[in-house]
Structure 1
Amino acid sequence: MKPYKLPEEHLFDHQISGKHTHLIVLENNRGVAVALSDYGARIVSLIVPDKQGDPTDVVLGFDSIQGYLSAQEPYHGVTVGRFANRIASGRFTIDGETFSVQPNNGPNALHGGAGGFHSKVWDRRVVYKEKVDFYYVSTDGEEGFPGRLSVMVKYRLTDENELVISYRAETDKPTVINLTNHAFFNLNGEGNGDVLDHILEIPADKYLPVDETQIPTGVVEAVENTPFDFRGPKSIGQDIKTANDQLAGANGGYDHNYVLNPATGGIPTLAATIHSPLTGIRLDVLTTEPGLQLYTGNFLNGKDIGRQGNPYGKYGAFCLETQHFPDAPNHPDFPSTLLLPGQVFQSETRYRFSVLK
């Protein structure tokens, strides 16, 4: 393995649709650094010390903007919107009016459609080595969504080894919104094999089963006595090859939403804890969101080659996407994703890193 290091900034100097792209680096005083790009308001690289004190990049990605433009997987590290996860048939109704998003995932719309927030160059404001605010205005009708939506995503790196992501949005027409970050993590190190050895704990009693197109059936099912039970720590790989229709339908892995204990007072609560026995790196995910999508890289196929020069194969990463529930606009009993004029959408997620000796 080559030593892990941040990408070079000049390799992210590019122009997309008339706007320049950049690489922004945040650093704290404990050896943690995160590289971000205004293309997709995305995490490009996240370096943390392992149990030996060696810098380890724990996020999949590429050394240049060209790598992202040509990647088969378009969601590496991005801010996902206007609606994260899936909307059945790309259709939803607000006040009796039906809106349509062009399907881009079989019969369904995924992650805001093909021209979602992941494909946009955001405006930015940087506070040197501490935080960066990304801004984007989504026009009325963009990808079929109603309303002019003004969005801000703020990344802040603390000296407590937390990467704090804060979201804020306002609209001039009733619309739906569901924002998340889509970092692909491997705590063994980017490009260093699969994540099946990672020990995961999700303090959630219930999850959402899905149909054959990965749309929630509407049933909220207990995790007890299923492969989806991570209430106690266990490896990702322990039950992943169990004969189970839900796992089989997601290409032999997890791609499901967990129902979290609700946050109170806008204070993020613990959604998941995961660590690598190899490096000792531990990640705690805290959020104000009601759901957590666990995805275990089941559709990675080795065609994308990462910064270490290694292919990103099946199970080569995990995602812990804090969000509202998939297809929520079509399920009145799910937590609402409706945003009205005069309201402010706000959400916060924290990635907290530490080391187990």
Structure 2
Amino acid sequence: MSIATPDRRITGAIEGRPVEAFRLCGGGTELEVIGFGAILTRLTRPDRHGVVEDIVLGYDDPADYETMPGNAGALCGRLANRLAHGRFELDGQVFQLARNSGAHHLHGGVRGFGKRFWSAHPDPSANAVEFRLASPDGDEGYPGALDASVTYGVAADGAVSIAMQARADRNTIVNLVHHGYWNLAGHASGSVLEQQLQIEADHYTPVRPDKIPTGEILSVEGGPFDFRRFKAIGADIAEASIDGGYDHNFCLRGRARGLRRCVSAWDPGSGRRMDIHSNQPGLQLYTANHLGLAPARGKGGAVYEKYAGFALETQAYPNAPNCPDFPSVMLREGETYRHEMLIVFPEAGG
């Protein structure tokens, strides 16, 4: 498949405002992203027999991305993942954010970045589209005006790049995250428990029952969090004990500066494989546990139930502002936050 100029169309409306969709193609990959939430709504890849399937969970009606839980495919921020009691201290001042997940702050607040319209800027020369969002000082309680962007691109070999950036006019905290749900057998194929992961992490951050990290960094050795070799997602999932599945941060090996491979996912049935490279220190594995409480009707009428997909979110560690041993998420005035992801799809095999 040759590199194509991004197609642009209107795919629906949210609160009376049209939602733009952009299609990018290259190297056997075809994806669609929309301006609302900078959401990746569709990504297709062939299996070992050349059969093409959409391997990301999502919805046909863009309005469902606003109302359905789970942040499927969205760009979450200003601080993705959890912040204990929505509170942190910065430069001697205590800031109180929304408590939109029980007693805690989650994915940027009541209306985080994944629930807003971003401005779209297609770049045909790079086979990419950039989305931009301006977040004012005090937005959801965060200090500083922040200019954020995310650029999706597809290379000639089918690899997908997701590049996130942000700058602020005063010191603030930032952790932007792409929150896609993957099912390498196809979005409508059911449980992912037989699909396998290999995570480049020797340690993880344990959590309390409310999913807030304890502040410890523990070894994965021999337990349910040991994915150092390929292992089925469901092999030890009963021992993970968070809503019956995984919702945990892994401490990635290597310096969090340049791109390095963080995780590989493989579906034995279809032969599809996906490798994610990133420059971030952590990776959240989440097995869509919320769908066990409220199954969702997705694309093409597919019913998404518990374990219908898995999220692999490269990130900073959750609750980092309140855990002094975790890598900092502070963005200083005038500096540029950069979060890079490269998703590579090796040829499907046995």
- Aligning the two structures, in what range does the TM-score lie when normalised by the shorter sequence? over 0.9
For 2:337, give the aligned amino acid: F
Hey, what does 1:117 align to over in structure 2?
A: 113
1:74: Cα distance to partner?
Answer: 4.5
Report how many residues are paired.
341
Q: Give the whole-Å Cα distance in 2 for the aligned partners of 1:208 and 1:342.
A: 31
For 2:260, give the aligned amino acid: T
Q: Give the whole-Å Cα distance in 2 for the aligned partners of 1:160 and 1:240.
A: 34
Hey, what does 1:5 align to over in structure 2?
A: none
Q: Identity of counterpart residues, as a percentage? A: 38
- CA deviations 1:167-206 (Å, max 9, x no partner) are 1110001100001100000001002110001011012100
Hey, what does 2:141 align to over in structure 1?
A: 144
Q: Give the whole-Å Cα distance in 2 for the aligned partners of 1:69 and 1:87.
A: 22
Q: Give the whole-Å Cα distance in 2 for the aligned partners of 1:31 and 1:353.
A: 9
Of 16, 19, 24, which residue of structure 1 is paired with 2:22?
24
Q: Is contact 2:14–2:63 with CA below 8 Å preserved after alignment?
A: no
Hey, what does 2:11 align to over in structure 1?
A: 12
Q: Secondary structure at the match of 2:201?
A: coil
Of 298, 321, 324, which residue of structure 1 is paired with 2:313?
321
Q: Is contact 2:21–2:34 with CA below 8 Å preserved after alignment?
A: yes
Hey, what does 1:95 align to over in structure 2?
A: 91
Q: Secondary structure at the match of 2:291?
A: coil
For 2:319, give the aligned amino acid: D
Of 303, 320, 330, which residue of structure 2 is paired with 1:338?
330
Q: Give the whole-Å Cα distance in 2 for the aligned partners of 1:23 and 1:225.
A: 44
Q: Give the whole-Å Cα distance in 1 for the aligned partners of 2:326 and 2:144.
A: 22
1:159: Cα distance to partner?
Answer: 1.5
Q: Secondary structure at the match of 1:206?
A: strand
Q: Give the whole-Å Cα distance in 2 for the aligned partners of 1:47 and 1:171.
A: 36
For 2:278, give the aligned amino acid: T
For 1:112, give the aligned amino acid: G
For 1:223, give the aligned amino acid: V
Q: Is contact 2:28–2:157 with CA below 8 Å preserved after alignment?
A: no
For 2:22, give the aligned amino acid: I
For 1:221, give the aligned amino acid: L
Judged with a 3 Å threshold, the aligned counterparts in structure 2 of structure 1 residues 287 and 272 are, in CA distance, closer, same or farther, namely same
Hey, what does 1:80 align to over in structure 2?
A: 76
- CA deviations 1:238-266 (Å, max 9, x no partner) are 11123xxxx22x111110000011336x4
Q: Secondary structure at the match of 1:44?
A: strand
Judged with a 3 Å threshold, the aligned counterparts in structure 2 of structure 1 residues 156 and 9 are, in CA distance, closer, same or farther, namely closer
Judged with a 3 Å threshold, the aligned counterparts in structure 2 of structure 1 residues 15 and 61 are, in CA distance, closer, same or farther, namely closer
2:292 is the alignment partner of 1:295 = no
Q: Is contact 1:13–1:23 with CA below 8 Å preserved after alignment?
A: no
Q: Is contact 1:262–1:288 with CA below 8 Å preserved after alignment?
A: no
- Which structure features the higher share of strand residues? 2
Q: Secondary structure at the match of 1:118?
A: helix
1:96: Cα distance to partner?
Answer: 1.3
- CA deviations 1:43-77 (Å, max 9, x no partner) are 00001111111111000001121332342x24010
1:102: Cα distance to partner?
Answer: 1.0
Judged with a 3 Å threshold, the aligned counterparts in structure 2 of structure 1 residues 199 and 74 are, in CA distance, closer, same or farther, namely closer
Q: Is contact 2:86–2:99 with CA below 8 Å preserved after alignment?
A: yes
Q: Give the whole-Å Cα distance in 2 for the aligned partners of 1:181 and 1:154.
A: 11
1:24: Cα distance to partner?
Answer: 0.6
Hey, what does 1:304 align to over in structure 2?
A: 296
1:31: Cα distance to partner?
Answer: 2.5
2:152 is the alignment partner of 1:160 = no
1:19: Cα distance to partner?
Answer: 5.0
1:15: Cα distance to partner?
Answer: 4.8
Q: Give the whole-Å Cα distance in 1 for the aligned partners of 2:153 and 2:246.
A: 29
Of 122, 125, 131, which residue of structure 2 is paired with 1:134?
131
**Length-normalised TM-score, structure 1:** 0.92
Q: Is contact 1:46–1:57 with CA below 8 Å preserved after alignment?
A: yes
1:12: Cα distance to partner?
Answer: 1.9
Q: Give the whole-Å Cα distance in 2 for the aligned partners of 1:335 and 1:22.
A: 36
Q: Is contact 1:11–1:64 with CA below 8 Å preserved after alignment?
A: no
Hey, what does 2:3 align to over in structure 1?
A: none
Q: Give the whole-Å Cα distance in 2 for the aligned partners of 1:181 and 1:270.
A: 16
Q: Is contact 2:199–2:228 with CA below 8 Å preserved after alignment?
A: yes
Q: Give the whole-Å Cα distance in 2 for the aligned partners of 1:47 and 1:55.
A: 6
For 2:102, give the aligned amino acid: G
2:169 is the alignment partner of 1:172 = yes
Hey, what does 2:349 align to over in structure 1?
A: 356
2:254 is the alignment partner of 1:255 = no
For 1:342, give the aligned amino acid: G
Q: Is contact 2:11–2:18 with CA below 8 Å preserved after alignment?
A: no
- CA deviations 1:10-64 (Å, max 9, x no partner) are 6624254x75421110011x32101000100010000111111111100000112
